[in-house]
Amino acid sequence: MRNIYNFSAGPAMLPDAVLAQAAAEMQDYNGTGQSVLELSHRSADWQDVMDEAELRLRRLMRIPAHYTVLFLQGGASAQFAMVPLNLMRNGKADYLITGLWAKKAYREAMRYGAARVICSSEAQQFTCIPEWNVDLFDPAADYVHLCMNNTIYGTMFHTLPDTGSIPLVADISSCILSQPMDVSRFGLLYAGAQKNMGPAGVTVVIVRSDLLERVRPDCPTLFRYRTHADHGSMYNTPPCYAIYVMLLVLRWLEDTVGGLESMAARNRAKAQLLYDYLDESALFRGTAAIRDRSWMNVPFITGDAETDARFLREASDAGLVNLAGHRTVGGMRASLYNAMPVAGIQRLTECMADFERRYA
Amino acid sequence: MRNIYNFSAGPAMLPDAVLAQAAAEMQDYNGTGQSVLELSHRSADWQDVMDEAELRLRRLMRIPAHYTVLFLQGGASAQFAMVPLNLMRNGKADYLITGLWAKKAYREAMRYGAARVICSSEAQQFTCIPEWNVDLFDPAADYVHLCMNNTIYGTMFHTLPDTGSIPLVADISSCILSQPMDVSRFGLLYAGAQKNMGPAGVTVVIVRSDLLERVRPDCPTLFRYRTHADHGSMYNTPPCYAIYVMLLVLRWLEDTVGGLESMAARNRAKAQLLYDYLDESALFRGTAAIRDRSWMNVPFITGDAETDARFLREASDAGLVNLAGHRTVGGMRASLYNAMPVAGIQRLTECMADFERRYA
């Protein structure tokens, strides 16, 4: 039982059991007399970590055999360049703009060819997922890109565009492993680990293997998916410790939580608790369009910046930390990733109710 | 006191005190009620880690104020592309080829312009540092590149070429912080942390700030040094845990060891112990040219592959692990990075002497 609940958008909470095991194994991993931090990446003990991490990720997400799983560095921001460098063979890609990160991905792609905006909710301050018209997709596009869950604005794609034979590429940094998803609908998925999967420092890429051949000649060796695919993500030294902690999280998800269906039920219940409170509150209100609400990130405001600031101070004093909204939007944001227990959200809604009684 | 000594070329041993503190703080960092793995990179606690890491690195290495320090991802291999993408403005660079990694750096640079080989010891199987002629350097070159310590072959530049006004760029992955060095002689230095500085997952770049302006237009946003310099290495989420462990190592180096002069004295004595043994042994012999010997990596052989394999098995059974040479050269290699205590080398030479008595 914790005294502090960390609602950060990432790096974020990790399961208590994961932290306990990481602490216990820090000075001697698996009887090797070495710390995980010291293990040679060419040792058998380390290869076992890599293999089990990939196996469990494949099993949890039901990743089909014709997809390649990569553990890379650089975060989702590196993928903004790596996706076009590896896939934009014909110099065309279509982007759905649902927030700051989607826009950054789009802008980076413009450096490599004709990236197009298919739809955008910028005029609505990204409070909703925009409508799209499938006829707008260019059949000759190398891919269609979207950001599945928008961390800053608390929106999520609950249905996906049908892109036909055009590969669909998605940034799933803030929703990976939060619920089952049909990987076969995508050409490529990528996610920084530091929200739902582990600590900062490792990025997962799941790519349909035939797409590895599309790499552009101007792509640096280390930024080619093919380079890493050919070497089991160990062309060079991988970010070992981040991968090890990710493995502990994957074990927790599979063996303790019981897989993504169970995780999804927990996450739905957690988000519902907070949304129900927001929908009845006379003081606080959610900012995202109801039909597009994210289960992972819940932004809310009182409508008055000073009251927001007062609430944030009180919440922090009560052990509910990192509730401030992204610096570009202000207000509050509660990130409810997998490791956030329901008790944390109960404490949050109690704190909100108490504040509301005094200030509404 | 350890039972296992890990002679891996990296990831490698870390000081016992660092591992003990990492274990102790894993579940509650600095009274925050959060693990370091969970700290938001936008929190004040995290900013303190970043600031102290940079401050201590600057103090230890006496980095002049007009140099920028960056904490990046991707390892030295990413730098093989980032160096030309950021500096090769005129499409010309000169490379000194002293091993596999120097060659990889050179090959990657060829993708961006006219990279030239100034000298190479490949014909000597990289067992020495080749002679260079300063007249060969192209005054119009964007930089001259070398790999300061050659992990695989156990050689090191003990003197540096005078490149005049051409910026000197060096990969110092396997010798950073092992002895004092004059940073002002270089335009840019880079090092993966997993040898002398911390765990895999963070790469240090030290660059003369005026060189940040040379970036090529085809450089992706995330691979521009300028991008990271403008955001204190937090343009996107940094590899937090690796940076935190690096900070613990920097504290150990400064507060316990007493700085780089003390560290250099220790390292010289450690290497001398092993070289003295090798020079007198009738069975084992070092493979690097004596005048170019590295203090960090000591490759040696018996001259018979079967005897090498038998020794490696016996050493491993005696708790002396990861002594196998790089897969491209075979034999043995003892990496004696900062955290390897003299006791580890004493145990190694005892094990070698015992083996020699039985098999020479």
Could you report the per-residue pLDDT of B135-152, keeping only the tens digit for each? 999 999 999 999 999 999
Q: For residue B16, what are its two tokens?
A: 């016992």
Pair type for strands B285-286 and B297-301: antiparallel
Q: Where are the domains of chain A?
A: 24-257, 259-359
Closest residue in A to B323 (Cα) is A40
Angstrom distance (rounded) from CA A129 to CA A263: 24
Q: Mark yes or no for CB contact B241/A238 under 8 Å.
A: no
Q: Mark yes or no for CB contact A239/B236 under 8 Å.
A: no
Which candidate, B145, B137, B123, B136, places its Cα nearest to that of B79?
B145
For residue B2, the distance in angstroms to the closest alpha carbon of chain A comes to 8
Reply yes or no on domain B5-15+259-359 having CATH 3.90.1150.10: yes
What is the per-residue pLDDT for A146? 98
Question: Which of A8, A24, A81 shows the shortest C-beta gap to B40?
Answer: A8
Q: To which residue do tokens 């190592």 refer? A: B249
List of residues 6+ apart from A234 with CB closer than 8 A: A41, A50
List, in sequence order, every beta strand (DSSP E) within A25-150.
67-72, 92-97, 114-120, 143-147, 149-150
Which candidate, B162, B163, B212, B155, places its Cα nearest to that of B188?
B212
List of residues 6+ apart from A290 with CB closer than 8 A: none
Q: Which fold has domain B17-257?
A: Aspartate Aminotransferase; domain 2 (3.40.640)
Reply yes or no on domain A259-359 having CATH 3.90.1150.10: yes
In a 13 Å sphere around the CA of B282, the CA atoms on its Cβ side amount to: 7
pLDDT tens readout for residues A177-211: 999 999 999 999 999 999 999 999 999 999 999 99
Q: Which residues of A touch B40 (CB under 8 A)?
A: 6, 8-12, 322
Burial of B254 (0-12, 13-18, 19+ CB in 10 A): middle
Q: Mark yes or no for CB contact A38/B239 under 8 Å.
A: no
**B291 to each of B306, B322, B332, how far by Cα in Å?**
29, 26, 20
Question: Which of A13, A24, A221 shows the shortest C-beta gap to B38?
Answer: A13
Q: For residue B190, what are its two tokens?
A: 């880079």
Closest residue in B to A14 (Cα) is B38
**B32 to each of A2, A11, A342, B27, B212, how far by Cα in Å?**
11, 14, 21, 10, 37
Q: Is the pLDDT of residue B360 over 80?
A: no
Averaged confidence pLDDT in chain A? 97
Q: What is the ipTM of this complex?
A: 0.97
Q: Do domains A24-257 and A259-359 have the same CATH topology?
A: no
Query: Quick one: CA torsion of A172, A173, A176, A179, rounded to 10 degrees?
Result: -70
Among A92, A94, A142, A195, the active-site one is A195
Catalytic machinery residues of B: 101, 171, 195
Q: Mark yes or no for CB contact A20/B27 under 8 Å.
A: yes
Q: Is the pLDDT of residue B1 over 70?
A: no
Q: Which residues of A touch B41 (CB under 8 A)?
A: 11, 200
Q: Which residues of B touch A39 (CB under 8 A)?
A: 11
What is the per-residue pLDDT for B53? 98
Closest residue in A to B218 (Cα) is A111
Closest residue in A to B320 (Cα) is A33
Class of CATH domain A24-257: alpha beta
Identity of the amino acid at B199: P
What is the per-residue pLDDT for B3? 86
Question: Which of B23, B34, B194 shows the shortest C-beta gap to A27?
Answer: B23
Identity of the amino acid at A348: L
Angstrom distance (rounded) from CA A183 to CA A208: 9
| Full DSSP string of B200-219 | TT-EEEEEEGGGGGG--TTS
pLDDT tens readout for residues A143-178: 999 999 999 999 999 999 999 999 999 999 999 999
Radius of gyration of chain B, Cα coordinates, nearest whole angstrom: 21
How many interface pairs between A and B have CB atoms less than 8 angstroms apart? 200
pTM listed for this prediction: 0.97
Q: Is the pLDDT of residue B99 over 60?
A: yes
Q: Among this protein's residues, is A101 annotated catalytic? A: yes
Q: Which residues of B touch A241 (CB under 8 A)?
A: 199-201, 241-242, 245
Asked whether A93 and A168 are in contact (CB, 8 A), the reply is: no
